[in-house]
Structure 1
Amino acid sequence: MPYSQIHLIDTATEQPFPAAPEGTVISSSAHLGWRGITVELHSLPPAEYPEHYVQGHRLAVVHRGKPITYEWKEGNRWNTRQIQPGFFFLQSHGDVNAPRWFETFETMAIALDPAFVAKSFRDTIQPERIQLRERRAEFDPIVAKFAHQFGCELEQGCYGGSLYGESLALAFSLHLLEQHSDQTTSLPRPRGQLSSLQLRETIDYIHTHSSEELSLVQLADDLNLSVFHFSRLFKTTIGLSPYQYVLQNRVERAKKLIMISPHPSLTEIALQVGFYDQTHFGKAFKRVVGISPKAFSKQVS
């Protein structure tokens, strides 16, 4: 099992400790190269954590299983709640917590880097104004939906790559800012489209580096736009999100390679067009084309 890369700070000692003990992290995004976000699925045994605070923004979503009794200490008083699957807790940098629980349960821990959030929305909101509100044992169906999406991505081997992970992180951050922060109104959506020059530069970069791991942050930085601004303008301009465009481009390249190769190696083609391996390639190809690469190869042979 992987080790937790999400750390809490003990208020008594100022020393960090992992959000999940050794042997309790079922899956993690830490090795995937996602920028600005770490996602972990924990199976936590009964425990009582010391009083601690968080560094950065951290959200824990009760992901699966039966309802459990969860308590947290405020001063000398313990607060008790029955939490259902989908209930979430939100802590921002400096928020203090001291929880305990008495049954094993699974939770999806999502750690957002404040620098990623600030950079993603720098055209829209001043970074110093970004303050998420503390939430304890609350339910938000949209948050639960995001937790499910993150969980599916981890379980399926993260075939979407870092670009998909960053796209999810952006959409998730937007929801938190609009529904769980001091921001009182919806963030204004960027209007207009990318200029022809901006679009050409982006498309050229994607095609040139399509076999590499592409980053939403890098694509936005190249045009000196925030990630939020770039993503909106890109989709308005061509009708696809950056992730959807890159995925389709890779699959189209793969189709051409399959058609021109007398004895195509699907593993080699997968790596050549930018997928981790043949498994990721097969899932993405079938999602776009409707059939597996092997079936497509038989059709065109």
Structure 2
Amino acid sequence: MANSGVLPVDAVEVMRTGCAMCPFPTRSSITSKGAGWNGIALESFSDIPGVAIPDHEHPTHFINLLTRGEIKAQWTTEGRSHSAANSPGTIYLLPAGSRDRLTWSGPTTRIVVVMAPGFLSRSLENTAHLDELELTTHWNLRDRHIQSLMLAMHADLEDGSPAGPLYGESLGLTLGLYLIRRYSARKGDSPQFHGGMPKARLNRVLDFINQNFTQELRLWELAQLAGMSPHYFCELFKMSTGLTAYQYLLQCRIDRAKQYLRNPAFSVGETGVAVGFADQSHFAKVFRRMVGVTPTKYRG
């Protein structure tokens, strides 16, 4: 497995009295733990009661999206207290290293994404030498781009991550790049891409995917194989193939599945597992979306 140079992040945690712990009093209903994401994690918390969260520090970048509940929140950070009405769509963007305490009234449902220090800077070619990019703090933010990306990551986990970690990591990278462009104290320059990926590097990556499409491929792994940052890799791969790496991986799986379905020795369920899907329902859902018919109808 490729080494991204980013410390692993498995769960949504804050530091309190020297211990890492979940900031909320309820268990997560959806988690990326086990999804294989690198340097980023997501958890969804349903029906969190009104709560007072004592003073704590964020060891990671903390992006909190309120998806349900109308509440009044009060928070104290950097020695100053604030309050605001929160409703679905409210986002807290809290950089790694920040400290606060927080209370709110009434039940809420939240999606939280955390990013390891170093995840942002190592995503871009021109900032990879930096230890970390500093984000600006926002407690009552509304940003439909952040919201849509977090909901897409959540949906991928709900669906069982049918493409393995590649799609979720790609969404996390896109979210990270957006945060750099919009909310970083030091803006990353927008690189200009011309001509696509060099042919030798592209063929190296395509051969690797074609030989390993049944495995859980990683974005950092493919980027390192091409010898470039994840952002640069994603841009040049799509420019060269017309597909994202995630789309190309799914296409490889579906093309091989078609071959297996023409062989009566393979059942639909066996076919899905053979080409890399976790189970038959995930396979059938993706196959129908890409081919237009169910695997059973395709088999005829």
TM-score normalised by length of structure 2 = 0.91
Where does the alignment leave 5 or more consecutive residues of structure 2 unmatched? 1-9
Per-residue CA distance 1:115-168 (angstroms, 9 max, x = gap): 332222134564246111111111011111112212222322222320100110
Q: Number of residues paired by the alignment?
A: 290
Query: What amino acid sits opposite 1:59 in the alignment?
Result: I
- On the 8 A contact 2:86/2:140 being kept in 1, the answer is yes
Candidates 90, 111, 114, aligned match of 1:111:
114
Query: What amino acid sits opposite 2:222 in the alignment?
Result: L
- On the 8 A contact 2:71/2:87 being kept in 1, the answer is yes
Q: In percent, how many aligned pairs have the same letter?
A: 29
Structure 2 Cα separation of the partners of residues 151 and 5 of structure 1: 14
- On the 8 A contact 2:133/2:184 being kept in 1, the answer is yes
Deviation at residue 178 of structure 1 after TM alignment = 0.5
SS at structure 2 position matched to 1:114:
coil
- On the 8 A contact 1:166/1:216 being kept in 2, the answer is yes
Match of 1:165 in 2: 168
Candidates 84, 91, 94, aligned match of 1:91:
94
SS at structure 2 position matched to 1:147:
helix
TM-score normalised by length of structure 1 = 0.90
Match of 1:45 in 2: 49
Candidates 193, 196, 201, aligned match of 1:193:
196
Flag the 1:75–1:32 CA change in 2: closer, same or farther, 3 A. closer
Matches for 1:16-165 after TM superposition, within 5 Å: 16-21=20-25, 23-43=26-46, 44-63=48-67, 65-74=68-77, 78-123=81-126, 126-128=129-131, 130-165=133-168
Structure 2 Cα separation of the partners of residues 37 and 287 of structure 1: 28
Match of 2:286 in 1: 284
Deviation at residue 253 of structure 1 after TM alignment = 0.8
- On the 8 A contact 2:121/2:127 being kept in 1, the answer is no
Where does the alignment leave 5 or more consecutive residues of structure 1 unmatched? none
Per-residue CA distance 1:200-251 (angstroms, 9 max, x = gap): 1111100111111111110111122110111111111111111111111111
Aligned: 1:240 with 2:246: no
Moved over 6 A (4+): none
Candidates 271, 274, 278, aligned match of 1:272:
274
Match of 2:254 in 1: 251
Per-residue CA distance 1:61-90 (angstroms, 9 max, x = gap): 112x23211110246754211112111011
Aligned: 1:205 with 2:211: no
Flag the 1:227–1:184 CA change in 2: closer, same or farther, 3 A. closer
Flag the 1:76–1:177 CA change in 2: closer, same or farther, 3 A. closer
Instruction: Give the root-mean-square deviation of aligned CA atoms.
Output: 1.8
SS at structure 1 position matched to 2:197:
coil
